[in-house]
Amino acid sequence: MRLSKFLTLSIPMSRNQAKFFIRKRRLSVDGKVVTDPNSELREDSNVVFDGKQISIAGYQYIVLHKPPSYACTSKDSEFASVLQLIKTRSEKRSYYFANALGPEQTGLVLLSDDARWANRMRRKLSKKAFVYLASLKGVVSECQIPQIKEAMMASADTNIGTIIDVQRHNETSLLLSLNQVLNQELLDVFHSFDLIINSLHLQKMGILSLGDLEEGDYLELTENEIKI
């Protein structure tokens, strides 16, 4: 991370102010005065500003219950960003998604301003089952379930470790468990059974669920508290 960015994340100030203070020799890194705002810091660098050691406020690790009509991006031309729901977020930080849902999908989303954590979680989640509640337009019978599962397996990118399971929740909804992106090819399977998915709700990823978290609400947890 550049020294100027580190300073703005540690103390409320603009990037231009940070560069000004650095050039005025008011910062030292590991005991040496640094005047280049673009100097790169190590993870264990000791930064002192005006004689006081400074550090970045702790990362945010967020479990969000995403409502419909929000996009899992920082900016979207059509939909509001889910970041608008995070009232405690820092405007000066970038946020990264460990998983993403489509604008009209609802449910469990993980995000953080810790890019490395988000990347690690994405890799871990690729091996975990995602459990969706699919609400249908049309009635599904118990005898159709094996046929739907077989059709989904045929349409999926199957490989060693692939997880696909289909259970009847009630006559107008299914529970879908899979460890790959629920793409259009998989969704099109339902059309062949004269079923249309009205809504998709991500209930669970691995062992992590929404619990009693209300739609639109979120929890800030520590890195170690988020178990998948």
149 phi and psi, to 5 degrees?
-60, -45
pLDDT at residue 44, as a whole number? 82
> pLDDT confidence of 189, banded at 50, 70, 90?
confident
Could you give the 3-state DSSP secondary structure of residue 116?
A: helix
CA–CA separation, 24 and 33 (whole Å): 10
pLDDT at residue 147, as a whole number? 92
Instruction: Tell me the two tokens of residue 190.
Output: 């339902």
Instruction: Tell me the two tokens of residue 177.
Output: 């468990």
CA–CA separation, 151 and 181 (whole Å): 16
Residues 6+ apart with CB under 8 A from 150: none
CA–CA separation, 178 and 181 (whole Å): 8
CA–CA separation, 179 and 160 (whole Å): 11
pLDDT tens-digit map of 94-138: 899 999 999 999 999 999 988 889 999 999 998 899 999 999 998
pLDDT tens-digit map of 150-179: 888 887 766 555 778 999 999 999 999 988
pLDDT at residue 216, as a whole number? 97
pLDDT at residue 190, as a whole number? 86
pLDDT at residue 90, as a whole number? 80
Report whether 191 contacts 197 (CB < 8 A): no
Rounded to an integer, the average pLDDT of 69-85 is 90
Minimal CA–CA distance to 144: which of 136, 183, 105? 136
pLDDT tens-digit map of 26-63: 999 999 999 999 999 987 889 999 999 888 767 899 99
In order of their start, the domains of the chain are 3-54 (3.10.290.10), 61-126+209-225 (3.30.70.580), 130-205 (3.30.70.1560)
Report whether 131 contacts 208 (CB < 8 A): no
pLDDT at residue 157, as a whole number? 66
24 phi and psi, to 5 degrees?
-85, 10
Lowest mean pLDDT among 19-33, 149-163, 192-206: 149-163
Lowest mean pLDDT among 17-31, 33-47, 202-216: 33-47
pLDDT at residue 123, as a whole number? 92
Rounded to an integer, the average pLDDT of 205-217 is 95
Instruction: Tell me the two tokens of residue 67.
Output: 């409502």
Q: What is the mean pLDDT of the chain?
A: 89
DSSP 205: E
CA–CA separation, 186 and 164 (whole Å): 11
